[in-house]
Structure 1
Amino acid sequence: MSVQGEVMTATREPRRRRPFLSRWPGSGAAMTVASIVGGILIWQLLSLRLPPLFLPSPRDTVLGAIELWQDGTLQMAILASSGRILVGWGLGLVVGVPIGILMGHFRWIRTLLDPYIEFFRFIPPIALVTLAVIWLGPGEMSKVALIFYTTVFLVTLNTLAGVRAVPELRLRAAASLGAGAVRTLWTVIVPSTVPYMVTGARLALGNSFLTIVSAEIVSAEDGLGALIWLARNYSRTEWVFVGIIVLGWLGYAFDRLLKYASMRLFARYGVNG
């Protein structure tokens, strides 16, 4: 063997062995199913030792879900909460993205709005539930406004961070090619900021589910938050579990849909999951 061959052999990276479970097709899905089944079994075992009012069994929870589904309560609650979340969240995106871009690109706008952003983002939406009901009434507007409030600051701050993170080299390259401020904004800054916008939208969507429960508990006759509160009044803990589980699955579904849509629409901007 030549000297060059010996050097190449010595410097060749060792072959990495694949993890044992990854060699089997479908092992990831099987582990997920096994994890869920294991969690349900632990839940069942704990429910055998605790009273149903404290911890209903999986069977009682399923029966409660069937009961709520058959009389239409569960469907109405899902539709009501989903509608409020989507409207408030969508409005927060429409307002938060432009504000974040303008704050990041123009120093004077950032200086003007930064005190308000930094002040209000630390006030939780639940602290404003009473004011929302007084100012906007107990109808849909108060709930949508709280979701909007939850969304707009997260989206604004993430978009602002994206604008500030645009490499200076890109900006100089655009300027050297004759691009003005507006053209640079639309062709360099906005495309580079898209991954940050998507991250802010996903974070805001998760926080919207936190907010909707408190808003509906205080001033709503329908929705998943109102369902959980109604279950508390009637001492139906299994209904509480139904509401909690549906909230979790609904949020998971919304996030997966948003992630999939973002990857399909904005893959060329670096959004990959």
Structure 2
Amino acid sequence: MTQLTQTASPTAQESAMPSNLGRRMKAARPFLISVVAIVGGLVLWQLVSMTTSPLFLPSVSMTWAAALELVADGTLQQSVLASSGRILAGWGAGVAIGVPLGIFMGRFDLVRQLLDPYIEFFRFIPPIAFVTLAVIWLGPGELSKIALIFYTTVFIVTLNTIAGVQAVNPLRLRAAASLGAGQWKILTTVILPSTVPFMVTGARIAMGNSFLTVVSAEIVSAREGLGALIWTARNFSRTEWVFVGIIALGLLGYLFDRVLRIATRKLLARYL
């Protein structure tokens, strides 16, 4: 019996190895597909650029050389840091104001009726329409750009939070009230946890819109930032710099969104 067991044991181990390998390959498949898609896109970009003028479409190698040039003199790093700081400040302020505002508007009819006309009016006016006024009222410095990003963020977060509050099951509210919970207890133990997914969704959408706003604001009144870099490249007919700025915006947005998703998953896992 001992000999049979010892003989069968390696066979069991060998059969388990392909199974483990298959699981690892399955887990790595999405990453490999993404890599193939990116490489294929770069190859297609390079091939198309060979058929046209560099002013119209610079090649991958030319864009890479431009990125190294901008990194070498510090322009790209300064631009990324300037845009990142403005986005985080404006977006953070918008979330900090939009979440409690949305909760109170969703919970109390009087608050919603008082503020709803303003929300519905201003949310349809794009931030770029206020660029000139922001510069006049707040100056050409950082405050005007942060204010525009705040304007972009606050309405999106507020509306998503209102939707989350109004989506709470009324039976849960009545059950909490019947157990003796007051308004504050109901707000913190029932409404707020149920609204977290809506808040996170609103914050992620607002983050994307913040990138749209910061580029517009920096093009109009900024010396540093990715929007300013793109505008400067346009003035000097450096299309490869434009591509570097656009790619940097995309990578920065992807990074911010991933960090936000990971942070919310770690901190708010039980509510999502």
* TM-score relative to the length of structure 2: 0.90
**Using the alignment, how far apart are the partners of 1:180 and 1:89 within structure 2?**
32
Q: Which amino acid aligns with 1:99?
A: L
1:187 shift after superposition: 1.0
1:182 shift after superposition: 1.5
**Using the alignment, how far apart are the partners of 1:123 and 1:139 within structure 2?**
22
* Aligned position for 2:34: 32
* Aligned position for 1:259: 261
Structure 1 unmatched ranges of 5 or more: 1-19
**Structure 1 residue corresponding to 2:63, chosen from 61, 64, 75:** 61
**Using the alignment, how far apart are the partners of 1:78 and 1:216 within structure 2?**
12
**Using the alignment, how far apart are the partners of 2:63 and 2:25 within structure 1?**
37
Q: Kindly report which structure 2 residues correspond to 1:3-152, keeping only aligned pairs within 5 A, or say none.
A: 24-152=26-154
Q: Which amino acid aligns with 1:108?
A: L
* Aligned position for 1:214: 216
SS of residue matched to 2:50: helix
**Using the alignment, how far apart are the partners of 1:31 and 1:218 within structure 2?**
39
**Using the alignment, how far apart are the partners of 1:186 and 1:114 within structure 2?**
23
1:132 shift after superposition: 0.4
1:22 shift after superposition: 9.7
Q: Residues 21 and 27 of structure 1 are in contact (CA less than 8 Å); yes or no, is this contact kept in structure 2?
A: no
State the percentage of identical aligned residues: 68
Q: Which amino acid aligns with 1:57?
A: S
**Using the alignment, how far apart are the partners of 1:208 and 1:23 within structure 2?**
37
**Using the alignment, how far apart are the partners of 1:186 and 1:100 within structure 2?**
14
1:224-248 per-position Cα deviation (integer Å, ceiling 9, x unaligned): 0000000000000000000000000
The aligned length equals 251
Greater share of residues in helix: 2
1:25 shift after superposition: 4.7
1:24 shift after superposition: 4.0
* Aligned position for 1:189: 191
Structure 2 unmatched ranges of 5 or more: 1-21
**Using the alignment, how far apart are the partners of 1:106 and 1:162 within structure 2?**
14
**Using the alignment, how far apart are the partners of 2:32 and 2:25 within structure 1?**
13
**Using the alignment, how far apart are the partners of 2:262 and 2:25 within structure 1?**
26
SS of residue matched to 1:148: helix
**Using the alignment, how far apart are the partners of 2:36 and 2:80 within structure 1?**
28
